Copies of this chain bind each other. A is one copy, B any other.
Amino acid sequence: MSATVEETTELAPRLPADNLRRAVRIGICGLGTVGSGTVNVMARNGEEIAARCGRPVEIVQVGARRDNAACDTSKLNVTREIFDVADNPDVDILVELIGGTTVARELVLAAINNGKHIVTANKALIAEHGNELFAAAAEKGVTIAYEAAVAGGIPIIKSLREGLVGNRIQWLAGIINGTGNYILTEMRDKGRSFAEALAQAQELGYAEADPTFDVEGIDAAHKLVIMASLAFAMPLAFDKVYTEGISGVSSEDIRYADELGYRIKHLGIARRTEHGVELRVHPTLIPQRRLIANVNGVMNAVLVNGDAVGPTLYYGAGAGAEATASAVIADIVDVARTLEAKPDQRVPAAGVAEGSQAGPQVLPMDEVVTSYYLRISAHDKPGVMSQVAKICSDQGISIEALIQHEPAEGEALVPVVILTSRAKEARLREAVAQIEALDTVEGEVVRIRVETLG
């Protein structure tokens, strides 16, 4: 290479004309946002991708029920029968971009059965059926790559599975749903209510007409179990994630959090403990000084703490046509490079060699230990605070910070805001039930978990 330094004048890399490796042949199923983005980026950056891959990458077939004006398919071989792609003997890698978990599962299983490698952006498919699919792929000696399933274009799967492989990962915490982060950012920056911010997100196309999947944390839970399975080398355990959405977060709580030096983010958290792995998605107060507290709008970020490396953070676009295509193409190149290699020369789909996974112990939510933000609506009478403090103390919980303002003009109720010490979830729930039962307290106590991420 050193000999050719002065001879090359190309500004972009290019596969040499005498390259002998045959093209890797891709079949893409699905021409929605990600599918069209993938077709466009591969067309635009094709030469550079081939140079990096060491061989040409060709789209030999596209399976899609309809065309998409966002990409030009006039030069592509398009079929309306997506299962044709799984059966096409010319296809080396099937790229599953149709979404959903029923047809997608069948399609992927059919392709695996035909000896094809799989690249997918489908978080629900991997989170819910990954254990089955990985086993089927291992049996056939093919691989399943799913970088695009988590946090869009951020190479977090690769980082967890390869980049941090020397570490015992202790915990990770991620802002892994852009819609939810956009809503919380708008609520904080513009003082909007949840409903107003959601409507705004829907208008901008960031949120679906039915936003449940995003705002209630199901999408984040899918991504969290995928990351946790790699971080802790355990099977995917989607049904064991504790999930709490952001629809109950009020702009009042965001203001109080600010006052205490915190931001409220919707986090997916996975933590290794002696008794099992915590898997939880919920609104969380985090100190403003943490980098991840300053990740705003639709952007995603994942903070990973390894025993050797310490904290590392990965930030970028968590969705979007080309950001997700970036991850799909990275997977295609990984698979293409090792197409003819032996199965054990590839990075295993589950992150560890077969038969090596750790147990699936997930810590029940009652056993999780963390701190809490509590907002209590109390009558402005003497003695309320001592009652609350006594209840907490009886459960082994101490009060670390407190905000109590004067009642607003003409208001009988005052909000009392508390930050607690670390306590078991079950203890906290008991304390909250007792506080709610007090005569001097009205309605439900707002409870948001607090993580220092330090």
Identical chains in the assembly: 2
Q: Is A453 an interface residue (CB 8 A)?
A: no
Q: Is A235 an interface residue (CB 8 A)?
A: yes
Q: Is A409 an interface residue (CB 8 A)?
A: no
Is B51's CB under 8 angstroms from A356's CB? yes
How many A residues are at the interface, by size bracket?
Answer: 35 or more
Contacting residue for A312 out of B5, B314, B350, B360, CB 8 A: B314
CB distance from A229 to the nearest CB of B (A): 10
CB distance from A50 to the nearest CB of B (A): 8
Give Cα A272–Cα B12 distance, bound, in whole angstroms. Answer: 10
Give Cα A134–Cα B4 distance, bound, in whole angstroms. Answer: 13
Contacts of A332 in B (CB 8 A): 166
Q: Is A41 an interface residue (CB 8 A)?
A: yes
Q: Is A387 an interface residue (CB 8 A)?
A: no
Give Cα A340–Cα B342 distance, bound, in whole angstroms. Answer: 9
Is B357's CB under 8 angstroms from A13's CB? yes
Is A359's CB under 8 angstroms from B11's CB? yes
Give Cα A350–Cα B1 distance, bound, in whole angstroms. Answer: 9
Q: Is A138 an interface residue (CB 8 A)?
A: yes
Give Cα A158–Cα B165 distance, bound, in whole angstroms. Answer: 12
Question: Which of A13, A235, A274, A301 has the most chain B CB atoms closer than 10 A to its own CB?
Answer: A13
Within 8 A of B (CB), among A1-26: 1-6, 8-16, 18-19, 21
Contacts of A21 in B (CB 8 A): 344
Contacts of A6 in B (CB 8 A): 360
Q: Is A163 an interface residue (CB 8 A)?
A: yes
Give Cα A359–Cα B18 distance, bound, in whole angstroms. Answer: 18
Q: Is A212 an interface residue (CB 8 A)?
A: no
Within 8 A of B (CB), among A278-295: 291, 294-295
Q: Is A52 an interface residue (CB 8 A)?
A: yes
Is A354's CB under 8 angstroms from B138's CB? no
Contacting residue for A309 out of B316, B354, B361, CB 8 A: B316
Of A73-81, A248-256, A319-327, the one contacting chain B is A319-327
Identify the closest chain B residue to A158 (Cβ).
B163
CB distance from A337 to the nearest CB of B (A): 6
CB distance from A278 to the nearest CB of B (A): 13
Identify the closest chain B residue to A349 (Cβ).
B1
Contacts of A82 in B (CB 8 A): none
Is A235's CB under 8 angstroms from B310's CB? no
Contacts of A358 in B (CB 8 A): 8, 10-14
Additional A-B contacts beyond A11-B276, A312-B316, A313-B314 (18; CB < 8 A): A1-B131, A2-B132, A8-B357, A12-B233, A13-B356, A13-B358, A15-B353, A15-B356, A51-B353, A54-B353, A153-B164, A155-B159, A158-B158, A166-B325, A308-B322, A309-B322, A309-B323, A310-B317
10 residue pairs A–B, Cβ–Cβ below 8 Å: A4-B357, A5-B131, A13-B357, A153-B306, A159-B159, A159-B163, A165-B333, A309-B327, A313-B315, A337-B347
* 5 pairs of A and B residues whose beta carbons are closest in the complex: A155-B163, A166-B329, A153-B309, A312-B316, A13-B233
